[in-house]
A = this chain, B = another copy of it.
């Protein structure tokens, strides 16, 4: 949208001026003025496979460069497990948290179902292992354009089975952001319905719970969210591959949580395009009697304001939640 102009003083949304919030850290203000990551303004056409691969590669390159610059902060070793289709990285932190033996976190990466895999998924595993002080499995699942839904769901369920077979379910937490939080939620309720035990905890960061984009914040926060912008949903349609977006395997807002779901922490920001997806899933879980807690950060957009104090605070709440539910506090 050519009508959006932003700078250190704020942003114009058409004729509406939204001043830069002074209620957030200087780093988060700088991020709003000049976001490190943001979606390219135009998505490829749905049938342009090469275009989607180039689109994802561009985002991945920026993500991987940023993660590599920080990987020295979370030293650890990496193993690889071949699943039927995907790859499961196993990251073991150099500094295992006391009492952390046998505990594990399964990370399912985000990236609108089209990016964040491969090396980025491996680095995400190392990062989360370092920050939790726990062994972290990180899944590189199949993605479109080559592998639309339900490939990612199948790989996520397989990864969860793998981890639950190697660890006491009471010692397993899941972590996902955005599309990854969607897959975490889907994998847990589908595995539950398949008779597997529930893991101990879920972290859902800015979850995409309704791929139809019907949440109010999809409109109210359009372009205010400098990470997702207007959110045209093309990547989600590519992922869905023509399946009904109301399918609870695509939009877990429509799944049934009354048969049980692990204690869950949900995190988002007031400017997140997926604010509605997050608070609606929180209400749905609460309505089903699930122990679910919600945290919302002032003026935060989708995902994290990288390296801002707010991002550390988000991670601090998430990691404390994991430790508490794995019996480590």
Residues of A that sit less than 8 Å from B by CB: 13-19, 21-24, 210, 214-217, 219-222, 224, 270-271, 275-276, 279-280, 282-283, 286-287, 293-299, 313, 317
Contact = CB atoms under 8 A, between A and B. Distances in A.
A254 to B, nearest CB: 12
A22 B283 contact: no
25 contacts: A16-B222, A17-B219, A18-B216, A18-B220, A21-B214, A21-B215, A21-B216, A21-B276, A22-B214, A23-B210, A23-B214, A23-B280, A24-B216, A216-B271, A217-B270, A220-B220, A220-B270, A270-B276, A275-B296, A276-B298, A279-B297, A280-B298, A287-B313, A294-B294, A296-B296
A279 B283 contact: no
A282 B23 CA distance: 14
A124 to B, nearest CB: 25
B14 A271 contact: no
Which of A17, A215, A220, A222 counts the most chain B CB atoms within 10 A? A220
B283 A298 contact: yes
A214 B22 CA distance: 7
Nearest to A219: B18
Contacts of A217: 270
A23 B224 contact: no
Contact of A216 (B14, B294, B295, B298): B298
Contacts of A276: 21, 23, 270, 298-299
A120 to B, nearest CB: 29
A184 B105 CA distance: 40
A297 B210 CA distance: 16
A283 B297 contact: yes
B279 A19 contact: no
Nearest to A293: B293
A275 B279 CA distance: 13
Contact of A282 (B21, B219, B224, B296): B296
Contacts of A214: 21-23
A279 B296 contact: yes
Contacts of A222: 16
Nearest to A3: B15
Contact of A270 (B21, B210, B275): B275
Contacts of A16: 13-14, 16, 222
A298 B298 CA distance: 17
A221 B219 contact: no
